[in-house]
Amino acid sequence: MAVVRSRCEALAVALLLLLLLLLLLGAALGSARAAVHFQEQFLDGAKWRKRWMNSEYKPDFGKFKLTAGKFYGDPVLDKGLQTTENSKFYAISSRFKPFSNKGKTLVIQYTVKHEQKIDCGGGYVKIFPSNLDQKKLSGDSHYYIMFGPDICGSDTKKVHVILNYKNKPHPIKKLIRCKVDGYTHLYTLIIRPDQTYKVKIDNEMVASGNLEDDLDFLPPKKINDPTVKKPVDWDDRIETDDPNDVKPEDWDEPEYIMDMSAEKPGDWDDAVNGEWHYPRVKNPLYRGEWKPRQIDNPNYRGVWPHPQIDNPNYSPDYSIYSFENISVIGLDIWQVRSGTIFDNFLITDDEEYAEDFGDETWGETKGPEKEMNIKQTEEEQARERAMEEKYFEQRFKKKLERKTQSGRDRAVKNTVTKAEL
């Protein structure tokens, strides 16, 4: 009996080890299956300049520099491309091996830090086809996808999701709010072959849906039946006139009346100026057009539901999500106040890989970054308080000295006066 029990325990352990091995193998294979088309973390110093090309379309484009910024979680890992000049357009791009996302998921991900507390400017990226002339990159360059935050004043604080379809950009109809707190944030766009999409900020979903429904690529599937008209007796007025409300007898008054208190100017010449008339003034008794009081319409039937039919101009397109020869990622933006840092770029076909990459980069440094910023803020506030205290102390000291000197002057004056007497 003991032998049987021992064999069963050994078999259970062996099965457990086999299961663990299979799980590890599956995870390894899953990671190996991820196609990483582009990944940039700027970990090799100045060599980034060999991979990124500045546009020469305009001579006064703003310049980028490699830095981790004023505060960071790691001085090396958090280095990225930072805008350096105020009120400038920026255009820079990096090329990779062309690919198509047909039949595959497309994931675009990167981090943005508006440490300057940006007031107006873009923080988005653009994905371009392989035929882009990088030296001529500009706002007019044809792109496939535009994705990322855009801020301008109090009205515009949104995440762009714009896809090109038949050479026309189509923006998402949903409003997706972006982050504006000055810290580094992770932005992720996922486009799947089933034509669904997902937008994530800091690895948390903030929007999702169907491309065809949320972007106006195609005509609507259904339209109002043009052969059907609303019935004549259909009453869709929510309110109606109160039949018991009667216009007051003294309601009608002219809007303007003659000002009988006015006098004809003494120098008025009828031959030259024409016949003089009393001027017209606003009638204080005028109350406008009378309208009966409104009451709930007892015959209200609601909004008439117009019958729908299939749109003869609608034709499904199951390739909206796909692009051929994807080959360039770029920053084509305008900023009033510079200081934004772009980092941790990733283009892949694996959602899990992208999420793990985000956790291993942004996820590891977000906490220390915030702690450093808080510490800097507290130190700056302490310095400001010390300067204020020093200023008021010096001011009080000078005031005391002036008061003491003034007392001495009065004592001297009184002494002289007595001596003279």
Contacts of 171 (CB under 8 A, 6+ apart): 160, 161, 162, 215
Residues 331, 125 contacting (CB under 8 angstroms):
yes
> Amino acid identity of 129?
P
Angle among Cα 281, 286, 292 to the nearest 5 degrees reads 160
Q: Which residues of 166-194 are buried (b: 16+ CB within 10 A; e: fewer)?
A: eeeebebebeeebbeebbbbbbbbbbbbe
Q: Which residues pair with 308 in a beta bridge?
A: 224
Secondary element (H or E) of residue 409: helix 362-420
Task: Enumerate residues 6+ apart whose C-beta is below 8 A from 204.
Answer: none
- How much of the chain is in helix, strand and coil states, percent to nearest 5? 30, 30, 40
* 187 annotated among ligand-binding-site residues: no
Q: Annotation-wise, does 126 bind a ligand? A: yes
> Per-residue DSSP letters for 317-361?
-TTTT--S-EEEEEEEEEESS--EEEEEEEEES-HHHHHHHHHHT
Q: Quick check: 150 and 158 in contact, CB under 8 A?
A: yes
Helix axes 351-360, 362-420, angle to 10 degrees: 30
Q: Is 150 marked as binding a ligand?
A: yes
What tokens appear for 391 in the block? 């200023």
- The DSSP element (H or E) to which 129 belongs, if any, is strand 125-129
Is 124 annotated in some ligand binding site?
Answer: yes
Q: Would you tell me how many other CB atoms lie within 10 Å of the CB of residue 337?
A: 15
Binding residues: 124, 126, 143, 150, 332
Give binding residues for an alpha-D-glucoside as ranges.
124, 126, 143, 150, 332
